[in-house]
Structure 1
Amino acid sequence: MELMNGVFRPYADSFVIFFIDDILVYSRTEGDHVRHLRIVLQRFREEKLYIKFSKCEFWLNSVAFLGHVVSNEGIRVDPAKIVAVRGWMRPISPTKILSSMGLVGYYRRFVQSLSTIAAPLTRLTRQGVDFRESDGMIAFIEARLSLVKQIRSEAGFVCPRRAS
């Protein structure tokens, strides 16, 4: 990450996003995109860094990147993550709840009133709480359904591209 940060710092959040060894190059126009790709590929050459062509994808209208789907319309939660939330099993320990809430927390900007929805789940992580308690389990199921619904419908694209 530090290496990529040094190599692409001047372009970070202008037209390049990177995380460890994943790079996303984005542009407003086709001409800009050609220029941006040339800059990125030239930086790789200058720094003697190699990319595996079979792992590269070019000229995509949308791309899955770090758990999101990025397109010219904005950023959306990756549908595979929605499937993961929908498939949550009933928690059997505070650790399982915290694990589930970690994924939800990653997508917090897509879920309105997340702290309110998650409050019953947070209470289940307290020491001495009986997981067989029906109120807690009902809260878990309601929270899961609410999260899936909000991530799928209300959130939509919440990170629109910048206007010219």
Structure 2
Amino acid sequence: MYGSRVFTKIDLASGYYQMLVVPGARKYTAFRAHRDVYEWVVAPMGMAGMPGIWSRLMRRLFDKFDFVVVYMDDICEFSRSMVDHVQRLRVICDVLRAEKLYARPSKCVFGVDSVDFLGHTISKDGLHVDQSKVRAIEMWSEPKSCKDVMSFVGLASYYRKFIPAFADLV
């Protein structure tokens, strides 16, 4: 990502529902409703193991490219120039098309100079905390229980690399 100036974020629509369950495994997804038995044809949300299977699929598709980062159903492409970016975006779109994976256009951002991705803002200047997350932390109400403190520390820990001496503070 270092040296990149152009970014795209692609959000895949309903990730698991785009992943077919192989016919031999469908019986393991069966459930009963109103005296009938149904089997999932696509991967259901909440089924054990699906995040790992989905991640493995994404790694198989995109690990060969050094210009893309994928986390679950979020894809971030980065390039040094718009010309390279468009060529790389075509490659990504070809992969998605071949696998019949579809993006949610309303949540995609193409060819921009900074992008919010996984709680961070990525730009030519590097990686920064997404300012909407900073505002959420600033607006966090005062903890009233140990559970509240643990929730806050968990959120703040995600950004520990941006907080000098974080370990000393918590």
Return the TM-score normalized by structure 2: 0.64
Tell me whether 1:65 sits opposite 2:117 in the alignment. yes
Q: Which has the higher contact order (CA 8 A, sep 6+)?
A: 2
Aligned to 2:161: 109
Deviation at 1:18, TM superposition (A): 1.2
Q: Distance in 2 between matches of 1:32 and 1:16?
A: 13
Instruction: Pick from 71, 76, 85 the counterpart of residue 24 of structure 1.
Output: 76
Q: 1:7 is aligned with what amino acid? A: L
The unaligned stretches of length 5 or more in structure 2 are 1-54
Tell me whether 1:81 sits opposite 2:112 in the alignment. no
Aligned to 2:63: 9
How many residue pairs get matched? Answer: 116
Instruction: Pick from 85, 90, 97 the counterpart of residue 33 of structure 1.
Output: 85
Return the TM-score normalized by structure 1: 0.66
Q: 2:82 is aligned with what amino acid? A: E
Q: Give 1:104-143 correspondences, 5 Å limit.
A: 104-118=156-170
Higher strand share: 2
Deviation at 1:2, TM superposition (A): 2.5
The unaligned stretches of length 5 or more in structure 1 are 119-164
Percent identity between matched residues is 40
Q: 2:106 is aligned with what amino acid? A: S
Q: 1:10 is aligned with what amino acid? A: K
What is the DSSP-based 3-state SS (H/G/I as helix, E as strand, rest coil) of the residue aligned with 1:31? helix
